[in-house]
């Protein structure tokens, strides 16, 4: 069975989507539709903007969504649809469009509202993230739990040996100091805030209102969602999981492990700069068949 995977923030690159625009009429139509929905020329930023331009959360999120959603629309064979989908953080929105649960227009509007809400949360409270490479994830989890005078939590379970932690500047500093010498490596990430942590609570509240007003449909295949790593086609569950995702951990490693356990052996990454997620899959299941769409 085949699963389609959709990347999140960090998969942006300069010139993204220009080839799609030049080669496919439907891509041009969707880019122009996106510019109308957003009220500014996102396509121009994607095609001509600098790496710094693309790093702004309010640009990054709709750009990555648009690139993945259009790639899926242009390249996904009608006779070879996925048996399941999954998206890493922001990528869940692209995944939901690909499996028919969300309309393109509705999803883009949600993504932009999510981006603006997260940008505002980042500006209200400074935070950051650190990738921790460790053989024992429990050490990282226990270290975070032991820090009670600052915010720091496990945020992204990317592979069996990589866990990203997220929190306030003080919380991350304390956790990093406590983990020094106990883990393989600590890598500070260049991000705008403490994503997937309690510091995103204000953004979650704004997104919740938007999600509750948006029409979702039953997808034609299951989606494995970040917060619980489980497959579902239930609309109410999908909506609640999307809401919980902003302050909850991305359980990517567990999602891939569950997909493998359910019989998935073929993984296809859709959009972004390429092989971000497939690199993680390889570390989770070495025998997986992989391709880029």
Q: pLDDT, tens digit, for every residue of 153-192?
A: 999 999 999 999 999 999 999 999 999 999 999 999 988 8
Question: 250 forms bridges with which residues in the sheet?
Answer: 156
Give Cα separations from 42 to 107, 160, 218, 277 (angstroms): 15, 36, 30, 24
One-character DSSP codes across 279-293: HHHHHH-TT-EEEE-
Q: Which among 67, 166, 168, 196 is annotated as catalytic? A: 196
Residue 256's pLDDT band, with cuts at 50, 70 and 90, is: very high
Q: Give the whole-angstrom CA distance, residue 230 versus residue 124.
A: 33
- Of 247, 274, 223, the C-alpha closest to 98 is 223
Mean pLDDT of 208-218: 96
169-179 helix and 137-146 helix, angle to the nearest 10 degrees: 130
Q: What is the pLDDT, as a whole number, of residue 181?
A: 93
Q: Give the whole-angstrom CA distance, residue 149 versus residue 177.
A: 15
Mean pLDDT of 89-97: 97
Specify whether 266 is catalytic. Answer: no
Q: Give the whole-angstrom CA distance, residue 124 versus residue 49.
A: 26
- Domain-wise residue ranges, the chain: 2-123+198-292, 126-188
Residue 77's pLDDT band, with cuts at 50, 70 and 90, is: low
Q: Which among 68, 89, 94, 253 is annotated as catalytic? A: 89
Within 8 A by CB and 6+ apart from 23, the residues are none
Q: Which of 76-90, 91-105, 111-125, 190-204 has the lowest mean pLDDT?
A: 76-90
Specify whether 255 is catalytic. Answer: no
Q: What is the pLDDT, as a whole number, of residue 78?
A: 59
Q: What is the pLDDT, as a whole number, of residue 57?
A: 84
pTM: 0.95
Residue 257, Cβ density class (10 Å: 0-12 exposed, 13-18 middle, ≥19 buried): middle
Say whether pLDDT at 274 is over 90.
Answer: no
CATH of domain 126-188: 3.30.70.250
Q: How many residues does the chain have?
A: 293
- Token pair listed for 158: 């990317």
For the chain, give the mean pLDDT: 95
CATH for 2-123+198-292 (3.20.20.70, 1.10.3710.10, 3.40.366.10, 3.50.50.60):
3.40.366.10
Residue 289's pLDDT band, with cuts at 50, 70 and 90, is: very high
Question: 5 forms bridges with which residues in the sheet?
Answer: 86, 269
Q: What is the pLDDT, as a whole number, of residue 76?
A: 79
Q: What is the CA radius of gyration of the chain?
A: 18
């Amino acid at each position: 069975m085949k699963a389609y995977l959709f990347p999140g923030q960090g998969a942006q690159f300069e010139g993204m989507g220009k080839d799609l625009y030049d080669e496919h009429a439907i891509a041009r139509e969707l880019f122009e539709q996106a510019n109308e929905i957003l009220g500014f020329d996102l396509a121009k930023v994607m095609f001509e903007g600098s790496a710094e331009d693309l790093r702004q959360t309010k640009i990054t999120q709709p750009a990555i969504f648009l690139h993945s959603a259009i790639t899926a629309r242009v390249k996904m064979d009608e006779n070879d649809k996925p048996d399941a989908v999954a998206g890493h953080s922001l990528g869940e929105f692209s995944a939901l469009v690909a499996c028919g649960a969300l309309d393109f227009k509705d999803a883009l509007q949600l993504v932009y509202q999510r981006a603006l809400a997260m940008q505002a949360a980042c500006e209200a409270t400074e935070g950051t993230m650190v990738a921790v490479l460790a053989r024992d994830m429990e050490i990282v989890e226990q270290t975070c739990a032991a820090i009670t005078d600052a915010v720091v939590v496990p945020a992204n379970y990317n592979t069996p040996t990589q866990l990203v932690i997220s929190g306030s500047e003080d919380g991350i500093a304390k956790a990093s100091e406590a983990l020094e010498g106990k883990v393989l490596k600590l890598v500070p990430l260049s991000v705008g805030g403490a994503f997937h942590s309690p510091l995103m609570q204000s953004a979650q509240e704004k997104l919740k209102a938007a999600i509750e007003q948006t029409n979702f449909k039953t997808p034609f295949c299951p989606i494995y969602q970040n917060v619980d790593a489980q497959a579902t086609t239930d609309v109410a569950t999908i909506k609640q999981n999307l809401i919980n995702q902003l302050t909850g951990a991305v359980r990517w490693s567990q999602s891939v492990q569950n997909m493998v356990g359910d019989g998935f052996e073929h993984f296809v990454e859709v959009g972004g700069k390429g092989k971000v997620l497939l690199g993680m899959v390889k570390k989770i299941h070495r025998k997986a068949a992989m391709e880029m769409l």
